[in-house]
Amino acid sequence: MGVVWTPESEHAKEMRRWEAHHTQYGPPGRPHEYRPYPAAMYKAERLADGTRRILPMQTAKDEQEQRNFESRGYVAGGPQAALDECDRIHIREAGKLAAEREFSKRRMSAKARAEADAAEAAHGARHLPDVPETPIKRRGRKLKIETPEPAPVA
């Protein structure tokens, strides 16, 4: 059986002095102070099948440790912030690859450009990061590669 402390009791008054939030003893006795550390840092990654997963949470004890985690891709703000950051990075990388592909199309011949367009159409509506290379048959004789003969054993 538990003990019930009324808000008027001396015990409840002493307990309220130390609390920053409402508790079973009544309203708080000290104001809430924001403390930025320790901070929870989250990171999400995109798997090969397109799904995302959140990696285990890391705890930053100070500003330096938080910067270290941020340099490795972690973000503060909860799991949803990590998923949003993962999407933002994916979209930026896809845009960069598309821009590079379009730039390389400018330097292609008409036949190569038609082949690249056919590969994109065959791939569908999803992003195609690069066009698979088609081997080119070279004309002329193949080069002879001379191998040195082994020295005779005496």
Q: Quickly tell me which residue has 């949803």 as its tokens.
A: 80
The answer to whether residue 128 sits within a structural domain is no
Beta bridge partners, 41, equal 58, 76
Residue 11 has pLDDT above 80, yes or no: yes
Q: Quickly tell me which residue has 């538990």 as its tokens.
A: 2
The answer to whether residue 28 sits within a structural domain is no
Distance (Å, whole) CA 4 – CA 21: 19
The answer to whether residue 22 sits within a structural domain is no
pLDDT (tens digit per residue) in 79-135: 999 999 999 999 998 888 888 888 888 888 898 888 888 888 887 766 666 667 777
Q: In the chain, what percentage of residues exceed pLDDT 70?
A: 94
Q: Are 41 and 65 in contact (CB under 8 A)?
A: no
Whole-model pTM: value is 0.58
Look at the chain and report how many structural domains it folds into.
1
The answer to whether residue 11 sits within a structural domain is no
The per-residue pLDDT of the chain, averaged, comes to: 86
Amino acid found at 60: A
Q: Are 108 and 131 in contact (CB under 8 A)?
A: no
The answer to whether residue 89 sits within a structural domain is yes
The answer to whether residue 151 sits within a structural domain is no
Distance (Å, whole) CA 34 – CA 64: 19
Beta bridge partners, 60, equal 39
The answer to whether residue 20 sits within a structural domain is no
Q: Which two structure tokens, joined as six digits, stand for 106?
A: 């400018």
Instruction: Kindly list the distances between the CA atom of residue 42 and the CA atoms of 34, 76, 147, 150, in Å, as whole numbers in the listed order.
Output: 20, 6, 58, 62
Quote the distance between the C-alpha of residue 137 and its chain's center.
41
The answer to whether residue 150 sits within a structural domain is no
Amino acid found at 45: E
Residue 66: band (very low, low, confident or very high) from pLDDT cuts 50, 70, 90: very high
Residue ranges making up the domain that contains 106: 35-121
